Structure 1
Amino acid sequence: MICDLHLHSNFSGDSNTPMELIVKQAIFLGIDIICFTDHQDTDNPYDGELFEIDFELYFKEFETLKKLYSDRIELLIGMELGLQTRLAKRHSDMLKKYPFDFVIGSNHLINGLDPYFPEYFQTRKESAGYQEYFESILSNINAFSEFDVFGHLDYVIRYGPNKNKFYSYKKYADIIDEILKTLIQKQVGLELNTGGFKYGLGHPNPHEDILKRYKELGGEIITIGSDAHTIEYIGHEFNRAISILKQCGFKHYNIFKNREPEYILI
């Protein structure tokens, strides 16, 4: 079982799972390393302060568990940072203030709307909603790139009216290639997020074709995360994830400690 670098506890507004329960389940599964990456989604219009981490309590609980379970599992601490162009300076200041091991940058809001909620696709066609989402990613990473990997790059597909029925990398290749080239140029990695299997896509986020293209363009930094909000999805479909990485040409995956990547052969 490999390392799970995308996990949400009750420090995220959309999870009720205690940190310690996550640790115990990871040990039960035989996972050697996990990283807590709770949501920091500043000014989220849907949930207000629910997606604002109480960092003092977050680090205090983490340090307690790290000491308690040090002989059984390695615990890392990070966050999933919800990107918005206007928050670039605030995010930069936040990252200087706390000693994170790992930071995921992700897009949840597109012009103030989250595709998780039906209203996003009520106001635009499915294909236009996907295109707008990818354009938003490009704007965000050009404005701010002080994170380690970009998370679940085609997250929007989970919630489209037809999900991935009419979706393909080729259909959005121009904008996706721009995103991937920008990430590589900025030395930001990519996440293979197995949450897509949970949502019935039959594929990870992003799709295998995007992972393969990232590798073709020279991308090397790749992490694996379950995006679990409950314990039953910790390490979900990770054997499948390893097979996908091999098929896409990767010979390793990465973990991060103190914001520095380490390479683990597969």
Structure 2
Amino acid sequence: MSNQILWDCHMHSSFSADSDTSMEDMIHEAIQRNLSGICFTEHLDPDYPPTPDNETFELDLDAYKETLFSLQEKYRSKLNIHFGIELGLQPHLADSFKELLKTLPFDFVIGSSHVVHGYDPYYGEFFENREESACYREYFESILENLEAFSGMDVYGHIDYVVRYGPNQNKEYSYERYRDILDEILRTIIDKNLGIELNTGGFHYGLGEPNPCRAVIRRYRELGGEIITVGADAHAPAKIAYDFDKAAAILAESGFKYYTVFQNRKPEFIKL
């Protein structure tokens, strides 16, 4: 029996600005795939910079909570459904996030870097007229700035997200090339009793690697990291549990015997 991961702990529905799939459609697909459970982690990115397509990452928290709780009840016998959020971290948002997390009963909180000093690498202007490596380094430095300002999340999301959108993606990127700063990030995460996620989104972006890449996941384990959640970052049903067989193999090869699921903000370790 090969290792299996039966929880997808990073997904979006139409409550997130960049998805138009209903929550119920995501749930139906997860049931079809025989998952044990899922966690919705809708985007909340306050102070998101203006974009060419006028995206805003606001979130109607009341409607989201109400819908999720009613669907949780409806599908209780078929699927565990957890209530999560993906916070778009920026240092100046730390206090408002601390207040928000006191008011809602989330199971799971991902903190992610999307906006770096006013730019989201998703849009090409972050890379314009600059060395790709300088952009990547700035992205990693911003993670350290976020960790210094705020550590109220459970895991740090897709640590090398920036490589999905670089001009050369990950052709010239490796853990070794950025080892100094990546080690500092991983040590800081471990010191703060936080986890990381293995995000299989990198596979559906054609990187041949998850985010973060295998070498970063292995290094996190070497440094003593134990908390690792798994999510496909699906914004549509077809991507749910995407390449989870590869994710399970990577965790096992990296020395993990368990993956992590959060309930009521507490980690539960599930055997691979």
- TM normalised by structure 2 equals 0.96
- 1:26 and 2:30 matched: yes
- 1:35 and 2:39 matched: yes
- 1:210 and 2:216 matched: yes
Kept in 2, the 8 Å contact 1:193–1:205? The answer is yes
- 1:151 and 2:157 matched: yes
Residue-by-residue CA offset, 1:206-250 (whole Å, 9 max, x unaligned): 000000000000000000000000110000000110000000000
Residue-by-residue CA offset, 1:43-66 (whole Å, 9 max, x unaligned): 101367831111110011001101
Aligned pairs for 1:62-141 (under 5 A) are 62-141=68-147
**SS in structure 1 opposite 2:127?**
helix
Letter paired with 2:40:
F
Kept in 2, the 8 Å contact 1:195–1:204? The answer is yes
Letter paired with 1:40:
L
- 1:232 and 2:249 matched: no
Give the Cα–Cα distance (whole angstroms) in 2 for the partners of residues 226 and 46 of structure 1.
Answer: 27
Count of matched residue pairs = 266
Give the Cα–Cα distance (whole angstroms) in 2 for the partners of residues 155 and 253 of structure 1.
Answer: 21
Structure 2 partner of 1:12? 16
- TM normalised by structure 1 equals 0.98
Kept in 2, the 8 Å contact 1:13–1:50? The answer is yes
Aligned pairs for 1:175-186 (under 5 A) are 175-186=181-192
Letter paired with 1:251:
K
Bigger Cα displacement from structure 2, 118-127 vs 186-195: 118-127
Shift >2 Å, 4+ stretches: 46-50
Q: Which runs of 5+ in 1 are unaligned?
A: none
Query: Identity of aligned pairs, percent?
Result: 53
Letter paired with 1:41:
D
Letter paired with 1:35:
C
Kept in 2, the 8 Å contact 1:35–1:77? The answer is yes
Structure 2 partner of 1:253? 259
Kept in 2, the 8 Å contact 1:163–1:201? The answer is yes
Please report how far the alpha carbon of residue 123 of structure 1 lies from its aligned counterpart in structure 2 after TM superposition: 3.9
Kept in 2, the 8 Å contact 1:5–1:35? The answer is yes
Please report how far the alpha carbon of residue 185 of structure 1 lies from its aligned counterpart in structure 2 after TM superposition: 0.3
Residue-by-residue CA offset, 1:167-226 (whole Å, 9 max, x unaligned): 100000000000000000000000000000000000000000000000000000000000
